[in-house]
Structure formats: C-alpha cells, structure tokens
Amino acid sequence: MGKEIPSRSEDYSLWYNELVKKADLAEHSDVRGCMVIKPYGYSIWEKMQQALDKMFKDTGHSNAYFPLFVPKSLFEAEEKNAEGFAKECAIVTHYRLKTDPNNKGKLIVDPEARLEEELVVRPTSEAIIWNTYKKWIQSYRDLPILVNQWANVVRWEMRTRLFLRTAEFLWQEGHTAHATADDAVRETVQMLDVYADFAENFMALPVVKGRKSEGERFPGAIDTYCIEAMMQDGKALQAGTSHFLGQNFAKAFNVQFTSKEGKLEHVWGTSWGVSTRLMGALIMAHSDDDGLVLPPKLAPIHVVIVPIFKTEEEFKKITDKVTEISSALRKQGYAVKYDSRDTHKPGFKFAEWELKGVPVRLAIGPRDLENGTVEVARRDTKEKKVMKMDEINTAIPALLDDIQNNIYQKALSYRNNMTTEVNSYDEMKKLLDEKGGFISAHWDGTMETEAAIKEETKATIRCIPLDAKEEEGKCIYTGKLSKRRVLFARAY
C-alpha cells in the first residue's frame, strides 16, 4: 500500500493537510507555525514567481530588496498600519547569546546585549520602504518609483495551516510612488488586473475582482482592492490584494516632491502583494480525492512516462522509444519525467504521479511497441486512451491546453453554482449553513452592520465586486437603502 489521503467529503480540512504532506509540497517544521516547503512544492512556487515576475517587469517594475528588520520608531510612524499589525509582530530585543554559567553546554540571552531600539521583524515593508523613498524622491522627475520585492515576512499567527496561514511566509510586495492620485489609483487597479490575469490564466482559478469594505481594508490604505476565489468546501479565499495608500505613508514619512509648478507636495503610494497562500488556493481549487490536480502552466512536470516491462530486454527497447518521445517533447518546452524505477510496479507509479498532480501520463509496454501506440492518461478527468506514437508530438500540446482550459471551466462553473443572490437575512443564514459559497446581497454600507453580520454568521464581506451593477435594494440586515450587492462568505 502506498500513500492514501482522506476524501474531501469525509473531512475537507484533513484532506487538505494530508494532501499537502503526501504530495511532497510542504510539512510542519520544528519551529512553531512555520513550514518547510519541500522541493516539489517549491518548484510550483517558482513557476508562480516566474510568471508573476515577468508580468511585473512587463508593466515597468523592477525588483529590489529591503531589510528584514524595521526599527520600532519607523514601524510606528504610520499609526494605523502599526496598530493593525502590532498584535502579531516578532521583535528582536537582543543581539548576542552567551554560555549559561549554570547549565553547561547551553546558551542564554546575554542581558548585557539589549538593543537600544527594538527591531520589528517585518510583517510588511511599507515603513522601511517609505523611509527609504524619502531619500530617493525630490522632484516629479524622480517619479514614479515602481519597485517590487520578493521576500519573507513574519506575522505571529495563533492558528496556522500549511500555506494558508503560517507565521513566516513568502510573498512579493510591490511598492510604488506617484506624483498624482490618479496615477496611483491607475497603478493599483493595473496590478489588481495583473493578479486576476495570473490567477485565471496560470492557476486556472476564476476570481472576483473587488474592493474591500472599510472594515476589511489594509491598515493605512485609503482603498483596498482584492481578488477573491471560491474553494471546493464553499469557503472564500482572498488570493491577492492591491492597495491605494493615498498620501498616508508619504505624510507619515515626510516624502515630498517638487511638482512641475514648483510646489512641494506629498507623494501618492500603492502597495500590492500575493503570497505562498496562492499555493493553498491552487490546491483547494482543483484537487480531488486522488490527490493534486495541477494546471499545466504551473506543473513542474508536464508529462510523466511509465514503462511497463517484464524483461530487461523489453525495458531497454521501451527506454529507447521513450528517449525519442521525451526529447521531442522537451524540444517543445515541456518538462518530461521518465519514471524508470524498477523497484515499483506500474500501478504504484500511476497512483503516485496522480497524487502529485502531473497533468499527463504516458504508459508504454511491449504491446505498444508492437502496435506503435502509447497509452495517454489525463489527470483532470482521469480519461485514458490509446494513441499512435507518431501523434504524440502534436497531441500532447493540444491535450495540455485542453486540460488547462478544462480545469478553469470546471472551477468557473463551480464558482458560479456557489454564488447565490439572496434577499433576506434568514435565507442568507440558511444558505451559509447548508451550501456555503458567495452570497450576493444588499448591504447598507456601514461597519456596524458588517460587524453584526460577521458576529452572527461568521460570514464577512469578501468584496464589493468591481462589476457590480447599480441596483436599488434594501440592506439584508437593516432594511436600509443600498445601491449594489456585495459578496458575503465564510472565508479562510
């Protein structure tokens, strides 16, 4: 018996945890709340990075790197931001250990080595970056500044889950500075579009673009835009955010520039990020009870080839054929894995590569050699068919495209099925308990109502969709007037 995972219907959250571990994506480390991302999982993250990085560069951004540590005085400069993160910060207070005089071979913190000013381990980098931008910006000619950084951040979470919420996680954070509010808003929306494009075209994950309510907004932002996705258990997941910071950070850090007209003005800012949480979204959006299902565009291995043989001689003949096929596929840019292990039976290998979500599997045995055929199996539908060997080179690219498209369509129709328009609070509560998903409903726009609904149902306003049509209605909770529907859901 190999590795098996629980079914989604039995225990969704156990299914997720086991899948992450059994598919070799990540595991818990010995550090509380922190994970080890294993090579297979990390290679998926690298594919995400590559695609996103290119999109950032194509929209004019450059990468840079800022320090992990933020002096407390800088951190607290933008009050709302500091307050928002204060409860989950790790703080460096000392810079030296020494041997414990009472306990041989052990180390203690040297009380003599207390830092004059504590260093906050960045939960996000606005503070240190805006403090740096102050030095970079004097004139409108210095603007815009379009910088991104790939980094780790630390948020001391009480309850963690692999990829979805860990104390340390990897992400990218873009930080831009502009001469006008319009420019900054345009940037904010552009990056939201980049995220949505990435989610849909690479992750095969349909997302709703929207704006956060005041209560869900990034601390220190004027406006927070987001993409929201629907997971297979009916819970929503925020997959990326893009913030219009107004002049909040420029004012806090005194970042001013001289305009064309010779006036001294505060700079307008944005910040935007996606994290390794996208891995969680990817896993939960597509995978099934047999394991991971990866969209070809993010799969570290596109095609796995399993030989079926009895004798050494058969194995050699098959290997020759496989070499031919795989080098032709590699020439087209596909990652091909030949699983030539003789220590496992084919059935075992089939199950293992399915668990790891490889989009296409080829099986070649003596029968195929005779007939000039190969068995082609696709991971998303688990369909198998026998193909002529000389068709492979053209059939595989088409098949991979089809898989990419199919899992997107499947996720899209699921998401649409899981989005329900609701006009009464009772109906909403019933739906949340029985079906889940997005609830599209009217809201009076106040924080009080939002908080009350959250308190009573555990559902939050995920976003105010950008494409929400103007529609007169009554708030589901207070009956007050509302101009458009918003999306509620229970969320990760």
- Using the rule CB under 7 A, is 102 a contact of RNA? no
Distance CA 370, CA 317 (A): 11
- Using the rule CB under 7 A, is 352 a contact of RNA? yes
Convert residues 251-290 into a mask of x (bound to RNA by CB under 7 A) and - (unbound).
---------------------------------------x
Rounded to a whole number of angstroms, the minimum distance from the CB of residue 487 to RNA is 16
Among 218, 225, 249, 338, binds RNA (CB under 7 A): 218
Rounded to a whole number of angstroms, the minimum distance from the CB of residue 46 to RNA is 24
- Using the rule CB under 7 A, is 372 a contact of RNA? no
Among 366, 361, 352, 360, CA closest to 321? 366
Stretch in the footprint of RNA (CB under 7 A) among 178-186, 263-271, 362-370, 467-475: 362-370
Q: Is the dihedral of CA 280, 285, 291, 293 positive or negative?
A: negative
CB atoms inside a 10 Å sphere around CB 116: 5
Rounded to a whole number of angstroms, the minimum distance from the CB of residue 237 to RNA is 12
Stretch in the footprint of RNA (CB under 7 A) among 45-53, 177-185, 219-227, 397-405: 219-227
Among 69, 45, 38, 33, CA closest to 159? 33
Amino acid 275 reads S
- Using the rule CB under 7 A, is 4 a contact of RNA? yes
Distance CA 83, CA 100 (A): 37
Distance CA 134, CA 174 (A): 17
- Using the rule CB under 7 A, is 354 a contact of RNA? yes
**For residues 262 and 343, which CB has a smaller minimum distance to RNA in the complex?**
343
Among 13, 73, 394, 424, binds RNA (CB under 7 A): 13
Distance CA 18, CA 160 (A): 15
Convert residues 194-213 into a mask of x (bound to RNA by CB under 7 A) and - (unbound).
------------------x-
**For residues 383 and 472, which CB has a smaller minimum distance to RNA in the complex?**
383
Among 316, 382, 385, 430, binds RNA (CB under 7 A): 382
**For residues 153 and 179, which CB has a smaller minimum distance to RNA in the complex?**
153
**Strands (DSSP E) found in 7-86:** 26-28, 35-37, 62-63, 69-71
Strand partners, 486: 441
Among 197, 200, 233, 375, binds RNA (CB under 7 A): 375
Longest CA span, the chain: 84
Among 68, 274, 66, 50, CA closest to 170? 274
Given the structure tokens 């084919």, which residue do they identify? Answer: 346
Stretch in the footprint of RNA (CB under 7 A) among 85-93, 143-151, 461-469, 479-487: 85-93
Using CA atoms, how far residue 50 sits from 18, 239, 302, 416, 457, in Å, is 27, 17, 17, 30, 39
- Using the rule CB under 7 A, is 217 a contact of RNA? yes
Among 46, 88, 391, 401, binds RNA (CB under 7 A): 88
**For residues 251 and 454, which CB has a smaller minimum distance to RNA in the complex?**
454
Burial of 150 (0-12, 13-18, 19+ CB in 10 A): middle
Q: Is the dihedral of CA 97, 101, 102, 104 positive or negative?
A: positive
DSSP 122: P
- Using the rule CB under 7 A, is 351 a contact of RNA? yes
Stretch in the footprint of RNA (CB under 7 A) among 1-9, 125-133, 247-255, 434-442: 1-9
Which residues have C-beta within 8 Å of that of residue 216, sequence separation ≥ 6?
A: 224, 460, 461
What's the CA dihedral at 100, 103, 105, 108 to 10 degrees? Answer: -30
Q: Is the peptide bond before 144 cis (omega within 30 degrees of 0)?
A: yes
- Using the rule CB under 7 A, is 368 a contact of RNA? yes
Which residues have C-beta within 8 Å of that of residue 97, sequence separation ≥ 6?
A: 107, 108, 109, 110
- Using the rule CB under 7 A, is 125 a contact of RNA? no
Among 94, 96, 114, 344, binds RNA (CB under 7 A): 344
List, as one string, the DSSP characters of 79-112. HHHHHHHHTT--EEEE--EEE-TTSTT-EEE-GG
Convert residues 225-244 into a mask of x (bound to RNA by CB under 7 A) and - (unbound).
----------------x---
Among 82, 284, 377, 411, binds RNA (CB under 7 A): 377
Among 38, 40, 80, 251, binds RNA (CB under 7 A): 80
Convert residues 152-191 into a mask of x (bound to RNA by CB under 7 A) and - (unbound).
---x-xxxx----x--------------------------
**For residues 85 and 257, which CB has a smaller minimum distance to RNA in the complex?**
85
**For residues 1 and 264, which CB has a smaller minimum distance to RNA in the complex?**
1
Task: Return phi, psi of residue 437, to 5°.
Answer: 85, -170
Rounded to a whole number of angstroms, the minimum distance from the CB of residue 132 to RNA is 22
**For residues 81 and 143, which CB has a smaller minimum distance to RNA in the complex?**
81
Residue numbers at the binding site for RNA (CB under 7 A)? 1-4, 13, 17, 28, 32-33, 80, 84-85, 87-88, 155, 157-160, 165, 212, 215-220, 224, 241, 290, 308-310, 342-348, 350-352, 354-355, 363-369, 375, 377, 382, 384, 458
